[in-house]
């Protein structure tokens, strides 16, 4: 079983208008909403690839109920902890020429509720995969990922971490199967400016020396690079298409990589499917769909 952990899920409310003027009432041209959170995004794209997962994390209030109803299907088992107070956050994405985002803080999580999450991870067994994705809410201790990984360290669980800077670095001692920094995050980790392919490969291998098995680096318009556990470099470009939305592309890449490796145990195929899923999300207003993934797979060299 694949388990995804989303500590602070959200409803992302997207509003589109030709121009945003402050100090007056603005009228939208259109609006839509999506159920968000990096782990949830991974589960949703895995479902499009016909792979089952269990979504763990915290929800609260009527918005939390909407998130759970909205993502639950035959391929996604929801096992969220319902908090006693507060509401799951609503993030507002304003698209009016320039993009403006208002990301909310989310509900307060008590120590006892955090312990309930830890207890849920006890069910993981050898051969399972856990995906820890996204930043930690301000209301939670900043070592929560480490606490989860410490709790399961004696099991043969495949660990995937998609987080920034210190959260990522602190997870390396648990030998994660996959980490996915982007080029900027790689630069921040080592406090250097990284621009060339040789530098990307060099510092990805430094992360392997620190504990990571496979390092997947998303490079935006330049595609992606994977340094696999054997030190071999794999590259994937981007497909031609109109980019509509980049939110969730990295999560989609993680889902595709996991699915590709689960299906064929090939790192080159895992990177291929991961890249296709990332592109599919970028070319849609929401997350990658099965139809779009299959369409792009047929075009991918």
Q: Are 299 and 263 in contact (CB under 8 A)?
A: no
Burial 29-62 (b: 16+ CB within 10 A, else e): eeeebbbbbbbbbbbbbbbbbebebbbbbbbbee
Q: Are 56 and 133 in contact (CB under 8 A)?
A: no
> For the range 289-295, what are the long-range contacts, defined as Cβ-Cβ under 8 Å and sequence gap of 24 or more?
289/48, 290/48, 290/49, 290/50, 293/48, 293/49, 293/256
DSSP at 214: E
Q: Are 56 and 296 in contact (CB under 8 A)?
A: no
CA distance 130 to 67: 20
CA distance 63 to 228: 40
Return the number of other C-beta atoms located less than 10 Å from residue 207's C-beta.
22
Q: Are 79 and 54 in contact (CB under 8 A)?
A: yes
Closest by CA position to 160, among listed 129, 183, 137? 129
CA distance 40 to 46: 10
251 is catalytic: yes
DSSP at 135: P
CA distance 253 to 42: 8
For the annotated catalytic residues, the residue numbers are 251
């Amino acid at each position: 079983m694949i388990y995804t952990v989303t500590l602070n899920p959200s409803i992302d409310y997207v509003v589109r208008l030709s121009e945003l003027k402050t100090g007056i009432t603005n009228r939208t041209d259109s609006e839509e909403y999506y159920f968000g959170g990096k782990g949830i995004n991974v589960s949703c794209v895995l479902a499009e690839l016909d792979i089952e997962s269990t979504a763990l994390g915290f929800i609260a209030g009527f918005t939390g109920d909407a998130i759970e109803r909205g993502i639950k299907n035959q391929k996604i088992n929801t096992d969220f902890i319902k908090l006693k107070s507060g509401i799951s956050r609503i993030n507002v994405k304003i698209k009016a020429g320039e993009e403006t985002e208002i990301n909310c803080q989310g509900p307060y999580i008590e120590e006892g509720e955090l312990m309930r999450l830890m207890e849920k991870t006890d069910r993981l067994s050898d051969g399972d995969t856990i995906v820890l994705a996204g930043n930690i809410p301000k209301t939670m201790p900043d070592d929560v990922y480490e606490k989860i990984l410490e709790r399961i360290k004696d099991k043969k669980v495949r660990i995937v971490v998609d987080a920034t800077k210190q959260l990522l670095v602190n997870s390396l001692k648990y030998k994660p199967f996959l980490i996915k920094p982007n080029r900027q995050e790689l630069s921040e980790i080592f406090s250097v400016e990284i621009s060339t392919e040789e530098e990307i490969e060099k510092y990805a291998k430094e992360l392997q020396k620190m504990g990571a098995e496979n390092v997947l680096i998303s490079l935006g318009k330049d595609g992606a690079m994977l340094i696999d556990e054997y030190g071999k470099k794999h590259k994937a470009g981007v497909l031609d298409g109109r980019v509509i939305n980049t939110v969730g592309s990295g999560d989609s890449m993680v889902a595709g990589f996991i699915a590709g490796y689960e299906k064929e145990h090939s790192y080159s195929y895992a990177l291929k499917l991961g890249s296709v899923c990332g592109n599919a999300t970028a070319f849609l207003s929401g997350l990658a769909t099965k139809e779009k993934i299959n369409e792009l797979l047929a075009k991918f060299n």
